[in-house]
Amino acid sequence: MTWTDERVSELTRLWEAGHSASAIGKQLGVSKNSVVGKAHRMKLQARPSPIKRDGVKKARPRASVIVTVPKSPIRAVPPPEPMSAPRPRLRHSGKGPDCLWPIGDPGDSDFHFCGQAAVAGKPYCAAHCAKAYITKSRTDSRAA
C-alpha cells in the first residue's frame, strides 16, 4: 500500500476532525497501525492515550456505612493462665567428643543425644557412623 497525496490529505483532514485511527483506517482501507505510523511520521498532533490518565484521580462515590455496636456491660478480662516454663533446647556445637545422634522426638521430655565417644572428625560414635555414612564399594558401582 502506498500513501498517495489524496490519501495523505484525507488522513490529515480526518485526523484533525478527531476521528479515531481505526475509523480512518477503515475509510482509507488500511490498518489502524498504518494510520498511527503515518500520522506520527507526518508529526500530526498526538492524541491523548486512552490508557494514560491526566494525573487527576476521579473520586469514587463511597457508600456511607453506619455501624451500630450493641451496648453491653464491661466485663473484666481474666488474666491469662501462666504458661509452663519452656524446656531448655538441647543444642550442641557439633565439635565436642560426644555422639550427636538424636534419640527420641525433640518435642518429648526424654529427648537426648547418644553421648558415646565420637569417632575423630565425625559427629557420631562408631555404631551411628555405620548407620549415617553408607558407602558403596567400587564393584557395586561398576555393576550398575
For the chain, give every domain's residue range.
5-41, 102-143
Q: Report the greatest alpha carbon distance in the chain.
A: 99
- The fraction of the chain above a pLDDT of 90, given in percent, is 18
Pairing of strands 102-103, 112-113: antiparallel
Between 55 and 79, where is the model more confident?
79
What pLDDT was estimated at residue 76? Answer: 67
Q: What are 54's three cell numbers? A: 491526566
What is the Cα–Cα distance from 29 to 36, expressed in whole angstroms? Answer: 14
What pLDDT was estimated at residue 2? Answer: 82
What is the Cα–Cα distance from 115 to 52, expressed in whole angstroms? Answer: 70
Mean pLDDT of the chain: 78
Whether the predicted model's global pTM rises above the 0.75 cut: no
CA-to-CA separations, 25 to 5, 19, 36, 39, in angstroms, rounded: 16, 10, 9, 11
Between 97 and 144, where is the model more confident?
97
Mean pLDDT along residues 50-73: 68
**Helix axis angle, 32-41 to 21-28, nearest 10°:** 100
Mean pLDDT along residues 73-87: 64
Between 1 and 41, where is the model more confident?
41
pLDDT band with cut points at 50, 70 and 90 for residue 55 = low
1 Cβ contact list (under 8 Å, min separation 6):
29, 30, 34
Please say if the pLDDT value at position 89 is more than 50: no
Please say if the pLDDT value at position 75 is more than 60: yes
Location of C-alpha cell 481505526: 22
